[in-house]
Every structure is written in structure tokens, then in C-alpha cells.
């Protein structure tokens, strides 16, 4: 009986952590691409913890494409714009 409660607690914690990591990204056009593609090799913390200018995001995203991120050209533009708006340098 106790074991069952313990297991439920673990599952609950696990699920709520998933919900938390999904809400880490602000909503916007491109957030779904970032969530799908940019989590393939690492988590989102090096994105959400950073602030970059549009030029710097362009550079990073190009680098990721060279690493093998499967992005179409038109998706690169959407992603760079989304990242610049969401994780840009304060003006």
C-alpha cells in the first residue's frame, strides 16, 4: 500500500516536471519548432538562459544547422525571429 502511494508520488513529480519544462518557452510563432528541433541534442536551458541579438541568434541557428539540426530555410527565419523576440537583448 505504501509502495503504491510512493510510486504515485514519483509519477506525479515526474509529470509536473514535464509540464514545467513545456511552459518554459513563451508562446509565439516558432515556439513549436524550437521545442521539437532544438531539444534533439540538448535541453532548452542554453536557449532560455541566454540573450542574443538577431545577428547572434542567426549565427547560433546556422551553427546548429551545421551540427545537423533538421531545419528548412524558411524555418530558420521563423526560429531566428522568434528567438530574437523572446530571448533578445533588452533595448
Tell whether residue 42 is a contact of ligand HEC (CB under 6 A): yes
d(CA 52, CA 24): 17
For ligand HEC, how many residues bind (rule: CB under 6 A)? 17
Tell whether residue 47 is a contact of ligand HEC (CB under 6 A): yes
Q: Please count the other Cβ atoms lying within 10 Å of the Cβ belonging to residue 47.
A: 19
Residue 91: Cβ-neighbour burial (10 angstroms; 0-12, 13-18, 19+): exposed
d(CA 86, CA 83): 5
Please pick, from the candidates 2, 5, 20, 67, the single residue that binds ligand HEC as defined by CB under 6 A.
Answer: 67
Tell whether residue 68 is a contact of ligand HEC (CB under 6 A): yes
Please pick, from the candidates 37, 54, 56, 77, the single residue that binds ligand HEC as defined by CB under 6 A.
Answer: 37
Contact footprint for ligand HEC (CB under 6 A): 34, 37-38, 40-42, 46-47, 50, 60-61, 64, 67-69, 71, 79
Amino acid at each position: 500500500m505504501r509502495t503504491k502511494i510512493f510510486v504515485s508520488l514519483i509519477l506525479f513529480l515526474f509529470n509536473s516536471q514535464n509540464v514545467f519544462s513545456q511552459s518554459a518557452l513563451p508562446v509565439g510563432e516558432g515556439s513549436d519548432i524550437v521545442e521539437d528541433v532544438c531539444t534533439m541534442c540538448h535541453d532548452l536551458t542554453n536557449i532560455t538562459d541566454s540573450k542574443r541579438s538577431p545577428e547572434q541568434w542567426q549565427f547560433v541557428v546556422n551553427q546548429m544547422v551545421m551540427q545537423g539540426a533538421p531545419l528548412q530555410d524558411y524555418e530558420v527565419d521563423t526560429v531566428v525571429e522568434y528567438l530574437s523576440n523572446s530571448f533578445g537583448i533588452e533595448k
